Amino acid sequence: MKRMKLGTKSPRSKFFALGASALVAVGLVGCATDASDSTDSAPAEPTTDSAEVLEIVYIPKNLGNPYFDNIVAGLQEAAPELNMTVEVVGPAQAGATDQIQYIDAAIQQQVDAILISPNDADALVPSLKRAMDAGIVVISVNSDMSAEGRDLAILPVDFTTLGDFLVELTAEVTDGAGDFAVLSATSTAPDQNVWIEGMRDVLAGGAYPDLNLVDVVYGDDAPDKSTNETNALLTRYPDLAAIVAPTTVGVAAAAQVLSASPLKGQVQVTGLGTPNEMRQYIKDGTVKAVALWDPKAQGILAAHLAAALINGTFTATPGASINVPGVGDRVVNDDTQVITGPPVTFTAENIDDFDF
Amino acid sequence: MDNPKASTLASAGKFLGPFLPAVVVFLVAMVWGTLASPFFLDIPVLLLHSGRYMEIGLLALAMTLVIIHGDIDLSVASNLAFSAAMLGLVYESGASIAVASVAAIAVGTTLGLFNGFLVTVVGLPSLVVTLGTLALYRGMAQIALGDQAVTGYPDGFVGADQNLVFELIPLPLTVFIVMAVLIGFLAHRTTFGFVSLMLGKNQVATMFSGLQPKMNRLIAFALSGAMAGFAAVLITARLGSTRSNLALGFELLVVTIVVLGGTDIFGGKGTIGGTVLALFAVIAVREALAIQNVNGQIQDAVIGLILVLTIAVPVAVSRLFGRVKVSRRKALLGLEKGTTQ
């Protein structure tokens, strides 16, 4: 009110007048459609079409990443039998806060479940709490986050053993000796950071006395940045034995750099990569072995768990078990996580058996 | 002149001219979103969602002043990240959240002053200086926090962005409105603002006019830093956590909004009101796209297209009517020559 007075008192204060008129305009638009909106949404709520068709939204870390496309493929494969529609929306970059807009939009659309591969373990918690308060099932897919922000987490693999696994894989391709560097995703990616910590623990344990982790660099899951970081590593450490990239974007970029480099075969590339992206590098001898789990199985599991939680046939409490066709029996662990399965190592012998 | 109605209409048109693109974009997005989704037009929800954009909005207010001077501050997002990191560390050291917030604003202002010092006292180009501090401040945030997040902020502070003023306006929007009024007053109702515009139009002439243009530019940079500090407090309350990669890339969004609001990127022209309208236009477009599950890349592309169009269309229109203008100007020049001689 005071502001209005100010605006009318001084004829020169166009600024205030403009602000006031903009507010009035918004208000008018708001009133005009508020009425129709309430009549519109009134029947939409009680009819609950959603009791028949389950509406779920999947928010990957970012778009254009083939890894998450496979999770989507799994969700879509399982959707028809579960009578479920799957919308996939996501940000252009894997920034910590870029996913919040899509969480808010999903709440506004009153979906039944939000499946999310979180870019940050903490920053999304307030938004996801609001979703759960609105009765939406929230499942963290592919990596976990603060437990207060989700009902359940689906992990691709037992993360606690992945550090061991990656060191074992590195030892395999380097014959157990040499300096190696890690090319990771973003410096804040929660999953990669846990794995790298796990690798450090294994190395500190002394089981691999001749393997040295000399550096950790971050390619931000962007091909160009990952390529630059790979080149920088090769220049900085002339005696490097291996580059280990626990991210599919990073490992493909590193393999691509080395396949065209005179250091091909001398510097090994390994880590987590999809068979389709790594096939050519395994076949041309740049890469001996990479590993991954089946992200598609994760998508199938996620769809079934979401449906069971929405329908109330399953609760996200430790010890609860569920049989998922095509995946098997899975049990919720003490951290309310469900683990998809063990990793698969791809080599020249078996890579043609996989297509994702 | 004979018809007072026509002249008020003309002056209204002249006044609205620079704001027209933002207003049109805003209205089109609102109508389009409403038609596209029955869930879109929920005013309290939209207002609540606007809170997500208010950090960018605060930065854009001060950036408008900086750009009016003919300068630019690319370090705002990095400054925000470092200020937020300081907020987190001060709070972790045992201080109250109020003290930590004041510390963040003080740190932001100091970093802004440092930019201003290098630009005005040392005399370096602002583009180069703030390109440097963009990397420097982000790096400092990374050194301060490492890969760790600061969490565990008190409950009343986390989620403060959901509090409503007058049971309608969310707190971040309220902060933004207050700042917009204050900075708008500074820019358009004070000698400071007058000098700002002159400075942007012709720096040399302004320096010879006995005014203090250096002080003006320094204040604008300090204000830009202070807004980064305020934004750091808002974003921390909203996310309940702090990481060094906070607000990554915000500087481009901020500059986009300022330019969309009719501020000349070369300085000398611009209004806070235009920036405010442009911010709400961008919010409306983003929210209308998000409710339809439109992906991030496409949203960015739409905003980019709108920016190009708002700059290109007025130029195209003026080219179209260029001939008339040129002949008129010539006539005017001739008249002036005639009178002065």
Of the partner residues B147, B180, B181, the one whose CB lies closest to the CB of residue A187 = B147
With tokens 């500059």, the residue in question is B255
Q: Over range A302-316, report the average pLDDT.
A: 94
B75/B184 same-domain check? yes
Partners of B178 on chain A (C-beta within 8 Å) are none
Contact A30 B158 (CB under 8 A): no
Contact B271 A15 (CB under 8 A): yes
B10 within a domain of the structure (yes/no): no
**3-state class (DSSP) for residue B294:** coil
B1 within a domain of the structure (yes/no): no
B254 within a domain of the structure (yes/no): yes
Partners of B42 on chain A (C-beta within 8 Å) are 37, 108
Determine phi and psi for A241, rounding to 5 degrees. Answer: -95, -30
* Residues A57-107: tens digit of each pLDDT: 999 988 877 788 889 999 999 999 999 999 999 888 877 788 999 999 999
Tens-digit pLDDT string for chain B (341 aa): 445 555 565 565 556 667 888 899 999 999 999 999 999 998 989 999 999 999 999 999 999 999 999 999 999 999 999 999 999 999 999 999 999 999 999 999 999 999 999 999 999 999 999 999 999 999 999 999 987 889 999 999 998 888 888 888 999 999 999 999 999 999 999 888 888 888 777 777 776 776 667 888 999 999 999 999 999 999 999 999 999 999 988 999 999 999 999 898 888 889 999 999 999 999 999 999 999 989 888 999 999 999 888 888 877 887 887 655 555 666 655 555 544 43
Contact A108 B291 (CB under 8 A): yes
Residue A332 structure tokens? 């919720």
Residue B129 to residues A98, B1, B84, B120, B125: CA-CA distances in angstroms? 28, 50, 22, 11, 6
Query: Confidence band (pLDDT; 50, 70, 90) for A327?
Result: confident
pLDDT greater at residue A64 or residue A264: A264
User: If you measure CA to CA, which chain B residue comes closest to A93?
Assistant: B296
Q: What ranges do the domains of chain A cover?
A: 54-157+295-346, 159-292
Length of chain A measured in residues: 356
Contact A104 B276 (CB under 8 A): no
Rounded CA-CA distance A19/B182 in Å is 13
Contact A37 B38 (CB under 8 A): yes
B194/B328 same-domain check? no
- Measured in angstroms, the CA of A8 and the nearest CA of chain B are apart by 15
Query: Which pLDDT belongs to residue A335?
Result: 93
B229/B319 same-domain check? no
Domain CATH for B252: 1.10.3470
Minimal CA–CA distance to B285: which of B313, B255, B237, B253?
A: B253
Query: Which pLDDT belongs to residue A40?
Result: 38
Count residue pairs from A and B with Cβ separation < 8 A: 135
Query: Which pLDDT belongs to residue A49?
Result: 46
Contact A125 B297 (CB under 8 A): no
Partners of B241 on chain A (C-beta within 8 Å) are 120, 122-123, 125
Of the partner residues B49, B159, B245, the one whose CB lies closest to the CB of residue A126 = B159
Contact B239 A95 (CB under 8 A): no
B13 within a domain of the structure (yes/no): no
Cα of B21 vs its chain's centroid, Å: 16
Query: Which pLDDT belongs to residue A52?
Result: 78
Contact A98 B296 (CB under 8 A): yes
Domain covering A159-292, topology: Rossmann fold (3.40.50)
Q: Over range A240-267, report the average pLDDT.
A: 94
Partners of B295 on chain A (C-beta within 8 Å) are 63, 89-92
- Contact status, residue A285 vs residue A267, Cβ threshold 8 Å: no
B285/B137 same-domain check? yes
CA atoms within a 13 Å half-sphere pointing along the CA-CB vector of A272: 28
Partners of A122 on chain B (C-beta within 8 Å) are 149, 151, 239-241, 243
Best mutation site among A93, A100, A188, A216 for testing chain B: the one with the most B CBs within 10 Å? Answer: A188
B182 within a domain of the structure (yes/no): yes
- Measured in angstroms, the CA of B111 and the nearest CA of chain A are apart by 24
B335/B267 same-domain check? no
B193/B263 same-domain check? yes
- Whole-number mean pLDDT of chain B? 88
Query: Confidence band (pLDDT; 50, 70, 90) for A27?
Result: very low
Query: Confidence band (pLDDT; 50, 70, 90) for A9?
Result: very low
Minimal CA–CA distance to A144: which of A333, A356, A344?
A: A333
B252/B322 same-domain check? no
B117/B250 same-domain check? yes
Asked whether the predicted pLDDT for residue A297 surpasses 50, the reply is yes
Partners of B245 on chain A (C-beta within 8 Å) are 95-96, 186-188
B176/B205 same-domain check? yes
Partners of A19 on chain B (C-beta within 8 Å) are 180-181, 273, 276
Asked whether the predicted pLDDT for residue A7 surpasses 60, the reply is no
Query: Confidence band (pLDDT; 50, 70, 90) for A3?
Result: very low
User: If you measure CA to CA, which chain A residue comes closest to B40?
Assistant: A108
Contact B30 A29 (CB under 8 A): yes
User: If you measure CA to CA, which chain B residue comes closest to A20?
Assistant: B273
Contacts of A82 (CB under 8 A, 6+ apart): A54, A303, A304, A307
* Residues A345-354: tens digit of each pLDDT: 999 999 987 7
B284/B306 same-domain check? no
Partners of A109 on chain B (C-beta within 8 Å) are 37, 39, 291
Residue B15 structure tokens? 């006044």
How much is the pTM?
0.75
User: If you measure CA to CA, which chain A residue comes closest to B189?
Assistant: A13
Partners of B299 on chain A (C-beta within 8 Å) are 92
Of the partner residues A37, A96, A100, the one whose CB lies closest to the CB of residue B245 = A96
Partners of A120 on chain B (C-beta within 8 Å) are 149, 241, 243
B100/B151 same-domain check? yes
**Total domains, chain B:** 2
Query: Which residue range(s) make up the domain with B332?
Result: 299-341
Contact A33 B34 (CB under 8 A): yes
B194/B322 same-domain check? no
Query: Which pLDDT belongs to residue A10?
Result: 40
Q: Which bin fits A271, alpha (ψ -120 to 50), beta or left (φ > 0)?
A: left
B116 within a domain of the structure (yes/no): yes
Domain covering A54-157+295-346, topology: Rossmann fold (3.40.50)
Pairing of strands B169-170, B164-165: antiparallel
